[in-house]
Amino acid sequence: MENTPASNFLQNIVRDDLAAGRVTEVVTRFPPEPNGYLHIGHAKSICVNFGLAEANGGRCNLRFDDTNPEKESQEFIDSILEDVRWLGFSWDGEVRFASAYFQQLYDWAVYLVEQGKAYVCDLNAEQAREYRGTLTEAGRNSPYRDRSVEENLDLLERMKAGEFAEGERVLRAKIDMASPNMNMRDPILYRIRKVQHHQTGKDWVIYPTYDFAHGQEDAIEGITHSVCTLEFEDHRPLYDWFINNLPVPSKPKQYEFGRLNPSYTVTSKRKLKQLVDEGVVSGWDDPRMPTVSGMRRRGYTPAAIRKFCEMIGTTRSDGVVDVAMLEFAIREDLNENAPRAMAVLNPLKIILTDYPEDKVELLSAPAHPTREELGERELPFTREVYIDAEDFREEANKKYKRLVLGKRVRLRNAYVIEADSVVRDEQGNITEVHAHTIPNTIGENPEDGVKPKGVIQWVSASHGKQAEVRLYDRLFNHEAPDRGDNDFMAHINPDSLQVVEQAWIEPSLADAKPEQGFQFEREGYFVADRDEHSAQHPVFNKTIGLRDTWQG
């Protein structure tokens, strides 16, 4: 339960670098492209990068890798900033932007041209693909590869000046068209994009590619350990090539770890977008989405998400993590911190025939079973109460520990009652149950020694409030909805959302603030909806159910 400092290969590398004096301080960065919402996978990356710095007395920058204006926007910048803050991390200094380094990057491009290590290529996209070769065949040199430095300089300047159309020319590094590593086959450094950039406006019509930008951004910021995911491993030789061939102010090193793949989940941006676009979910922050904003609205807590990231570790192997682990982390945090309350989702009225009609007893109950400091809340007890229909049966075997006709049950934090009879409607459905209280059973067992079989939650029919409760379940009913040739849309769980329009909640819950989480005893953890909850119209989202081992 104690926080053993997460030891992993990255931590070991940092520790050794610090010990050997290769670096005096660890500086990492979280470098999202502002082209979408952050999801659970990004949360892991955030924990890894900020965590590595934090654990070693270093710093972590937040830098937007905004080199492709076509797909980016201020909206995404804002949401990413909010999500990182919400997760509880503080970046070093101001927020950084790759676009703030565009001039420096351009100057370095000119430098490479001057060194004869870059050239302007007139091949169009299709031709370039042909020249690139395949995985098993070497590529061929571009016919423009041997232009003079002067001509390249002139052409590059004119690309920058907007003299050419998009796609007409690119700047490429002169490396090796026969390299078995595709990334080294004269990679593109700059392409023409005549679009408005969310940060730099119309200043540029050429934009650097990821490969030409990322390592240099790291170098400018003095990043010591540039941590990314495994698919960038093949780019490392190129990353190093730029760092070694340019007069950069520092020499960062890239390290890769395995991406997080939770089971029963999709995290690809394209697929998440499809879920939103096709109305499968209500938006990017739908509580069923694995986005940070979705998890937030679902009632997951930053502490639980961070704990989960710590639990799964950071390695170079690629696997599928059981979402049960995430769920465990959520329950663990909420069990410790969420105040308890009672709610009845499927109401069945109980009339306590021995209890005076106008009588109201103000009982009090602890907000938490073990944490007294969380205080108490008041529970009005009345003649008519609601219990869950699931908690009553006319007859049942001994394994059923709830209310049964002729038997007793404890109303949580209140009296023991005994069921006497049922009232039915014309269709024969039970509409209410008549019962009576057992005297002196508040905080005490019945004096006649006949103990109740179980304990159930209840809400006063006259003093309780009504609420909308949204019951969420996994969005997919397949462990790996998008593995192989699976059509993930075919594995959508049709029961991932069930809305209870009129649940009954104990009166104290009317004071809940949006985003406040509770445990509805015997039901699970719920959170007051961030956007739609109000005292007038309470709305609670089910975060996660309680562990349920009842085999009945």
42, 46, 50, 65: which one contacts RNA (CB under 7 A)? 65
Q: Report the C-alpha gap between 82 and 21 in whole angstroms.
A: 36
Residue range at the interface with RNA (CB under 7 A); choices 48-56, 286-294, 327-335, 423-431: 327-335
Q: How many helices (DSSP H) and strands (DSSP E) are in the chain?
A: 12, 29
Say which of 15, 33, 140, 271 is annotated catalytic.
33
Residue 442 C-beta: closest distance to RNA, Å? 5
Residue with tokens 């006319």: 394
- Chain residues 216-235 in contact with RNA, contact rule CB under 7 A: 230-235
Residue range at the interface with RNA (CB under 7 A); choices 14-22, 53-61, 344-352, 393-401: 393-401
For residues 308 and 329, is the Cβ–Cβ distance under 8 A?
A: yes
Residue 100, interface with RNA (CB under 7 A)? no
Q: What is the pattern of x (binds RNA, CB under 7 A) and - over residues 235-264? A: x----------------------x------
Q: What is the pattern of x (binds RNA, CB under 7 A) and - over residues 457-486? A: ---------------------------x--
205, 455, 480, 489: which one contacts RNA (CB under 7 A)? 455
| Strand, coil or helix: 350 | strand
Q: What Cα–Cα distance (Å) separates residue 106 from each residue in 103, 128, 212, 245, 370?
A: 5, 22, 10, 15, 62
Q: Report the C-alpha gap between 402 and 410 in whole angstroms.
A: 8
Binding-site members for ATP are 33-35, 39-45, 229, 259-260
**Tokens standing for residue 61:** 């920058």
Residue 427 C-beta: closest distance to RNA, Å? 26
Residue 339 C-beta: closest distance to RNA, Å? 10
- Chain centre to alpha carbon of residue 94: 24
100, 153, 188, 248: which one contacts RNA (CB under 7 A)? 188
- Given the complex with RNA, which of 54 and 176 has the nearer CB atom? 176
Q: How many residues bind RNA (CB under 7 A)?
A: 90
- Contacting residues for 84 by C-beta, under 8 A, at least 6 apart: 30, 38, 46, 62, 91
Binding-site members are 33-35, 39-45, 65, 210, 229, 259-260
Residue 214 C-beta: closest distance to RNA, Å? 7
Residue 454, interface with RNA (CB under 7 A)? yes
Q: Which ranges of 20-134 would DSSP assign to H, the alpha helix?
A: 40-55, 74-86, 102-114, 125-132
Residue range at the interface with RNA (CB under 7 A); choices 80-88, 155-163, 308-316, 427-435: 308-316
60, 312, 348, 352: which one contacts RNA (CB under 7 A)? 312
Residue 371, interface with RNA (CB under 7 A)? no
For residues 442 and 514, is the Cβ–Cβ distance under 8 A?
A: no
47, 321, 471, 497: which one contacts RNA (CB under 7 A)? 321
Residue range at the interface with RNA (CB under 7 A); choices 46-54, 146-154, 246-254, 306-314: 306-314
Q: What Cα–Cα distance (Å) separates residue 357 from each residue in 384, 432, 457?
A: 8, 16, 21
Q: b/e string for 134-144 if b means 16 or more Cβ within 10 A?
A: eeeeebeebeb
Residue 522, interface with RNA (CB under 7 A)? yes
**Tokens standing for residue 492:** 């959508």
- Chain residues 264-303 in contact with RNA, contact rule CB under 7 A: none
Residue 332, interface with RNA (CB under 7 A)? yes
Residue 413, interface with RNA (CB under 7 A)? yes
Residue 548, interface with RNA (CB under 7 A)? yes
Q: Would you call 407 a catalytic residue per the annotation?
A: no
Annotate 368-424 with DSSP letters as a single string. SSS-GGG-EEEEEE-SEEEEEGGGEESS--TT--SEEBT-EEEETTS-EEEEEEEEE
For residues 159 and 169, is the Cβ–Cβ distance under 8 A?
A: yes
- Given the complex with RNA, which of 521 and 529 has the nearer CB atom? 521
- Give, to the nearest 10 degrees, the angle between helix 210-221 and helix 102-114: 110
Binding-site members for L-glutamine are 65, 210
Say which of 15, 140, 193, 269 is annotated catalytic.
269
- Given the complex with RNA, which of 245 and 337 has the nearer CB atom? 337
Q: Would you call 117 a catalytic residue per the annotation?
A: no
Residue 118, interface with RNA (CB under 7 A)? no
- Chain centre to alpha carbon of residue 534: 25
Residue 535, interface with RNA (CB under 7 A)? no
Q: Report the C-alpha gap between 318 and 300 in whole angstroms.
A: 25
- Contacting residues for 493 by C-beta, under 8 A, at least 6 apart: 473, 474, 475, 476, 477
Q: Would you call 269 a catalytic residue per the annotation?
A: yes
29, 44, 59, 132: which one contacts RNA (CB under 7 A)? 132
* Residues carrying an active site annotation: 33, 259, 269
